[in-house]
Structure 1
Amino acid sequence: MKTALILVAAAALIVGSLAKAEQLGTSRTDLQRHDLGIPGREVVQVRVDLAPGVLAPNHSHPGEEIVYVIEGLLQYQLEGEAPVTLKAGQVLFIPAGKIHSARNVGNVNAAELATYIVEKGKPLSVQSK
């Protein structure tokens, strides 16, 4: 009986987490992760989808991020810089540790291919306060 209750509680937590992610209107699909020839560094590629109006709030990465917009219209705000709006086919370089955000400013889904060149073993993303 205890095992059944634990399984039901675990399932509820998973469903709740998925619902929260859907409410936020974002999804991340990990595509690949490989060690580089530089000791302690790795490359990670992720597809990030944002629903219309959704904001990926201020955060940073322990390495460089190269963004390629796959679809839609995304506005990026890098700390200390003017916002830049990119459409499909455009790119952006975000320096290591630079606090930034992204918002879907269009009325359809927006997606980016994010390529990170980061320090291995560190969290891929750090939320800013």
Structure 2
Amino acid sequence: MSRTPTRYAAGLLGVALVTATLTAFTGLAQAQEAGQPPAKNWQAGLKRTDLVRRDLDVAGREVIQVRVDFDPGVVSPKHSHPGVEVAYVIDGTFEYQLEGQPAVTLKAGDSLYIPAGTAHVAKNVGQGKASELATYIVKKDTPLVVLEQ
């Protein structure tokens, strides 16, 4: 299924707006475990690189794929997505906390399925930069990221 240049540009603008919204939030508190140093500011230490955004053969659904790089100690804000996410760890070590489930630690080569609408947090628990490939199968024309409280 091909897109017109205008629709493709509008889709890219939507991804840019989601990214800008994430970086615009300031002062978002991150839960810290007792005795742990404070996490690094996620606005400065998290970088998203958009790779793919395409319509699916299923009406009202699209696939979005991004690379997310975390500096050491960076914790994402608690958030959810309007569809499923499959996170694949490219490099480093992450701790993922999905709402209602025990935390899981993944290293390079590991993957995690995150059900639609499940609030979650990702933290780089390694010594160096960590990177994940996030693939989303989501509802079209809805924000990709919903910040949770």
TM range (shorter): 0.7 to 0.9
Is 1:100 the equivalent of 2:112?
A: no
Alignment counterpart, residue 31 of structure 1, candidates 51, 55, 62 = 51
Deviation at 1:57, TM superposition (A): 1.6
Q: State the Cα RMSD in Å.
A: 2.0
SS at match of 1:24: helix
SS in 2 for 1:77: strand
Task: Please tell me the residue identity of whatever aligns with 2:85.
Answer: E
| Unpaired runs of at least 5, structure 2 | 1-22, 27-40
Q: Given that residues 42 and 74 in structure 2 are in contact (C-alpha distance below 8 angstroms), is that contact kept between their aligned partners in structure 1?
A: no
TM-score (norm 1): 0.83
2:86 alignment counterpart: 66
Q: TM-score, normalised by structure 2?
A: 0.72
User: What whole-Å deviation, never above 9, does each CA across 1:69-128 have from its counterpart, x for those lacking one?
Assistant: 000000000001000000000000000000000000001000000000000000001000
SS at match of 2:77: strand
State the alpha-carbon separation in 1 of the partners of residues 79 and 97 from structure 2.
Answer: 11
Poorly superposed stretches of 4+, deviation over 4 Å: 20-23
Establish whether residue 114 from structure 1 lines up as the match of residue 134 from structure 2. yes
> In the aligned structure 1, how far is the partner of 2:43 from the partner of 2:77?
15
Q: CA deviation at 1:23?
A: 5.6
2:62 to 42, 50, 53: 42
- In structure 2, distance between residues paired with 1:56 and 1:22: 6
Identity %: 58
- Structure possessing the higher radius of gyration over alpha carbons: 1
Deviation at 1:22, TM superposition (A): 8.0
Question: How far apart are the structure 1 equivalents of 2:135 and 2:42?
Answer: 23
| Unaligned 5+ runs, structure 1 | 1-16
Higher relative contact order (CA 8 A, sep 6+): 1
Aligned partner (choices 43, 66, 75) of residue 95 of structure 2: 75
SS in 2 for 1:69: strand
Q: Whose strand proportion is higher, 1 or 2?
A: 1
Is 1:123 aligned to residue 128 of structure 2? no
